[in-house]
Amino acid sequence: MRLNFLLILTSFLIFSCGQNDSQKNDKDPLWGLEQQVFENGENIDIVEINKSIEKATTMRLSWAYSPITIAIRVAGQQMISPEVKILAKSKSGNELITHAVVMIEKKNLQDDSINDQYYRIELKLGGSIWQVMDIKKAWTCKANRGHSEVNAQLCK
């Protein structure tokens, strides 16, 4: 049931984005943090993730066919958050999406030191298989627990 919901949500997000929607999407404050996450975020190893995508594709598992569901799987549910935002944009420059960036924001984490957590996941379509090209993870700390900037420095 949850998988069906993710597929419907993914389809809605992909097919409902016209040019005007994507221009609005670029103005979302989360896209303003993309460069900070890219420059200051912690690198996440992509080798095992790409192997799991390839295996899931051979098994025809539906999550492996969408950059959004792959990104959700990457970000996982390691930390429970009452507010999660997921944005995706094409970097292909045309209607056929073959290169995408997905930003995931988890706000007000139920953690004693990390306040918000951010993922930037870049994917490219190689043939019929999506491949993760880059994953960055960054965060902000809770008040009096360290930095308030988006980066990968440990919180106190």
Question: What pLDDT digit, counting tens, does each position of 28-66 carry?
Answer: 999 999 999 999 999 999 999 999 999 999 999 999 999
User: What are the beta bridge partners of residue 116?
Assistant: 140
* Structural domain boundaries in the chain: 2-141
Nearest to 132 by CA among 123, 144, 140, 143: 123
Distance from chain centroid for Cα 106:
10
Distance CA 52, CA 48 (A): 6
Reported confidence tier of residue 8, pLDDT bands at 50, 70, 90: very low
Distance CA 99, CA 82 (A): 30
Residue 12, Ramachandran bin (φ over 0: left; ψ between -120 and 50: alpha; else beta): alpha
Pick the CATH number of 2-141 from 3.30.565.10, 3.10.450.630, 3.20.20.70, 2.60.40.1120: 3.10.450.630
Distance CA 50, CA 132 (A): 6
Distance CA 120, CA 88 (A): 10
Q: Which tops the pLDDT comparison, 91 or 76?
A: 91
Is the pLDDT reported for residue 22 higher than 70?
Answer: no
Nearest to 40 by CA among 124, 144, 148: 148
Distance CA 34, CA 53 (A): 24
What share of the chain in percent tops pLDDT 90?
A: 72
Written as one string, the DSSP assignment of 73-93 is HHHTTSS--SEEEEEEEE-SS
Distance from chain centroid for Cα 86:
6
What's the pLDDT score for residue 78?
A: 63
Distance CA 46, CA 137 (A): 12
